[in-house]
Chain A
Amino acid sequence: MYGENTFSHYDVLLWLTGLKATLSMFFLSSILGCLLGTVFGLIRYYRIAVLAPIVFSLGEVLKNSPVIVQLFLIYFGVPMYFDVILTPFEAAAIVLSANTTAFIAVICVASLESVDKGQVATARSFAMKETDILVHVLFPQALVVAAPLVVGILVNQIQVTSLISIIGVIDLTQVGHILNQRTFEPFIVWPVIGITYFVLSGTISYMGTRVEKKFRIPE
Chain B
Amino acid sequence: MSDFLPYALALWNGFTVTFLVSASAILGSLAVGTFVAVVVTSGTGLPKILGRAYIELFRNIPFLVLIFFFFFGLPELGIFINAFWTGALALSLAVGAYVADAVRSGISSVDRGVYAASITYGLSHAQRLRYVILPLAFRVSLRPLGSIFINLILTTSLLSTITLNELTNSAKIIASTTFKPFEVYFVLLVLYSVLTYTCSLIVQTYHHRLTRHL
Known: A65-B193, A73-B185. A201 touches B155 (CB 8 A): no
Partner of A66, one of B57, B64, B168, B197: B168
Residue in B65, B68, B189 whose Cβ sees the most chain A Cβ within 10 Å: B65
The stretch from A3-11, A76-84, A120-128 touching chain B is: A76-84
User: Which of B60, B73, B150, B171 meets A197, CB within 8 Å?
Assistant: B60
Shortest Cβ gap from A180 to chain B (Å): 6
List which A149-176 residues lie within 8 A (CB) of chain B: 155, 158-163, 165-166, 173, 176
Minimal beta-carbon separation of B168 from chain A (angstroms): 6
B72 and A72 form a contact (CB under 8 A) = no
A residues less than 8 Å from B63 (CB atoms): 159, 162
Contact status B175-A201, CB under 8 Å: no
Q: Which residues of chain B from 144 to 181 have a CB within 8 Å of any chain A CB?
A: 150, 154-158, 160-161, 168, 171-172, 175, 179, 181
Asked if A69 and B66 make an inter-chain contact with CB atoms under 8 angstroms apart, the answer reads no
Task: Provide the A60-90 mask, 1 if CB < 8 A to any CB of B, else 0.
Answer: 0100111111001100110011000000000
A173 to chain B, nearest CB (A): 5
Contacts of B60 in A (CB 8 A): 155, 159, 197-198, 201-202
Our pick among A80, A155, A191, A202 for the contact of B182 (Cβ within 8 Å) is A80
Contact B172 A190 (CB under 8 A): no
Q: Mark B99-141, 1 if CB is under 8 A from A, else 0.
A: 0000000000000000000000000000000000000000000
Interface residues of B (CB under 8 A from A): 57, 60-66, 68-69, 72-73, 76, 150, 154-158, 160-161, 168, 171-172, 175, 179, 181-182, 185-186, 188-189, 192-193, 196-197
**A-B residue pairs in contact (CB < 8 Å), sample of 20:** A64-B196, A66-B158, A68-B157, A69-B171, A69-B185, A72-B171, A72-B185, A77-B182, A80-B181, A173-B62, A180-B68, A187-B73, A190-B73, A191-B69, A194-B69, A197-B61, A197-B65, A198-B57, A201-B60, A202-B60
Q: Which 6 A-B pairs have the closest CB atoms?
A: A162-B62, A66-B157, A190-B69, A186-B72, A159-B62, A77-B181
